[in-house]
Structure formats: C-alpha cells, structure tokens
Chains A and B, each alone.
Chain A
C-alpha cells in the first residue's frame, strides 16, 4: 500500500521507525511546551522581586521556602526557585536559537539562490564572502561582534545569524546548481516562465530538504553557542537569563559543593540539545533520497 501514501505520510512513517528519534521528538515537544507556557506552569515568577526572599537563598533541592513553596530543584543565591528559572530560561534559549536560525536560513536561501541563478560575478562575490566567513570558527565571529556591539538579546541573535548564514548559502547554492540541470527546470525555461517564478516556485521548494536538515542541526548548535556566549558573560543580559547564564550564576557556588544552581540548568540545556540532535539525525536519513529503497 506504500504507493497510495502521500509523501508526507511516507516521511512520518519512516521517521517513526526509530524509537530513539521518537523519544527525542517527544522530549523536544515537552521542552517546547514548557518554554511556551512557562508563566503558567512555573511555581514562581523568578523575576518578580516581590516573590523572592533572600532568606530562601541557596536551599538544597526539595526544601521548603518561607512562603510554603517547595524548591524541588533548590534555589539560587537570590532565593529564586531553580525549576522556575529553568522554565523561563528555556524560553530565552529556544527563542534566541530559533529566531537566529530562521533569519540565517532566510539570508542563506536568498544569497544561495542568487548565486546559483545568476552565476558569474554575483556567484563569485557571494561565494568568496562565504569562504571568508567559513574560514573563521563560528564562536570567534560571534565573539568579535559581541565584543564590538556589547551585550543584549537582539545583538546575540545578530551575532548568531552572522555566525551561521554561510552554511545555508553554501548548501543552498550547491543544491540549486544540481536542481537547475534537471529536466523540470529546463521545461520551465522552455515555457518562458518569468525567472522569479522559476526560482521561487520550482527551484526553491526542491532545495528545501537539505536546508531543513542543516537547520535542525544548526538550531542545536545555535542554542549551544548562545549558552556558551552567555556563560562567558557576553551574550544575553542578566535581566533576561538564558540557561547558559543560569549555569554561570551557579558556578562559584559549585566550588563550595552547592551543585544544584548550575547542574540542573545544565541538564536542561543538554536534554534540549540532545533531543534536537536525535530528531535531526533521523530527519537526515528520512529526507535523504539516496537512502530510499
């Protein structure tokens, strides 16, 4: 009955064949839902100073606060519930990761398609920029920008976009160059369709699968990079802490044995990254036509 399946159903069925990938997808869904509904499900608003009590600071996991709240994962030096801090931190981490990846994909698609479609000088200028960009590690590019611009959520997103767009531009260009030689494009050219229509309706959709795979891997990389930059104190500001900044805040206390302030946000970060990578890994196999029987 496989022939009756729509491509979408086929992809879903192939994806579900790996139990590990399904577990990753389930975990990722839970994490995304937590991030979306953080204000509703958090035991405490960690940024409402009225709800914090300094006497509750650095309590170990499971202890009760003065106000009757239980700190299931302990509290930090300000008397904040770690669990609530993680829920709110996930919002920032996922938001920054997703926003920067979306923008980078968009820029990469536009430049990659331009390079492949126009060729010649446009192509060589764009690809030379891509080469230069890729000769520097992404962390260094982000660091240079943030060192010049200063901290901030918008600036961190900008730094992550600048660190990533070249990957997409390069892979879109090579996918588009292969697709352009195929017969359906030739047919479209023979019909004298306007170039914009050929690029957007014919070329673009067929270049998307590899971009989708790279984008899923890159979301995880972007989240990890943002966490690293925030851990170093040059990413998001202290007023809107992501998971990386939460980990940084607990680092000093870790040396004195109060592990929970850093470790639980760290576990949340690792679960997020690993679940995205599990999904991305399976997606790559499912969307790769060479592996289809």
Chain B
C-alpha cells in the first residue's frame, strides 16, 4: 500500500531535517501507529504520503504510484483513494452533518442518487443517527470527529490517514473514535494514525513506528508506545 525508500525531508528554513532516511513498507489492510513527540516528523510523513509536500530525497509509493512521478493532474485521483482525519476536525461550520459528509462526494462529481444512498450508510457506521441535521457547533468534540471520519470514509478509500485524531478529545471519547477506526480497518482499509496518546497505542497492540527527531527509531509489530519519549 505504502512504500518509502530512503525518504528525507529538509525545510528551507529548518536547521534540522524533518525526516531522515526513512525506509518502510505498509501492507494493505494494516493498522499502523506513528508515534513520537511533537516535531518528530509524524505529520510531515503523512503530508508526504498525500503529496501535499515533496520529499527532498527518496521515493514514495502510494497505492502502487511513484508520487515523485505523479503529474499534478493525477493528484485528485490519488487523493480520492485516501481519507484524511485531523486533530481539528476541519468541518464546515455552515453545513450540517450530512451536508459536510455529502460535500466530499459532491465535489468529486458523484451523482445525487449515489450521495443520497451512501451518506446515511456512513452516518450509521459512525453512530450519528438522528444528528444528521445538526451543525458542527451543536455537537460534542467526539461527535464532530465522527463526522470527520465519516467524511473521510464515505468514498470508501483503501487508505485512511489520521493525524492525531484523538488529540482534542478526552480519554473516553478517544476510545470511541479508536473503536471506529478499528472497525474501518476491519473492512480492509489501511489505517495510518499519528498519535502521542500512549494509552491508545498500548491498548490497541498494533504495529508501531516510532520517530525521533526525524529518524525512525523503532518499527515493531504489535507494539506499545514505549519509553523513549
């Protein structure tokens, strides 16, 4: 699903490299935690996978495509196959729950009939039945994040990238979101989640990739958060 070969990223202004010589491979259907303290390069890694940024050196393959060679007009097609969830939810405040989710389908030109069919399905999947007409500011944080997950997953992407999805949530709510991501993973979707929530990582017992100052210091199947940070 994802393959990185010798990937480094240096920002023009930064003295230290954001990522140094990362080589890793993520198989289809895996659930992977990216852990590390703030500034360790987790977000940069996710942004590289989305081709929001280009690596300084090295090659990245996502869904069999070499991102360095992907022409910009094919970028939308790549991103349609990747769902994204962020710490700050990124919902549109002037749209209701179902409108927020439908937006992701409308802007890629899905027909109305398709939108009408799949939006209720995904609302049910994330457990927000009865709240379709609510606006984001009428929802609790965990519910807003469920909307964001629903929007990321409504197009059934084979890959879901989550950047600290529980960062703004309390522990109980976080567990709910993790259960949701786990359920999505069980449908065959590859999930890569950046986090520094040690409880969650320890409970889930999934593969853990740890970054420290831009270097990969650990890649462990069924790992725990660990002691380095």
The finding on whether chains A and B are genuine partners in a shared complex, rather than unrelated, reads: no
Which residues of B are at the interface with A, using a C-beta cutoff of 8 A? Answer: none
Which residues of A are at the interface with B, using a C-beta cutoff of 8 A? Answer: none
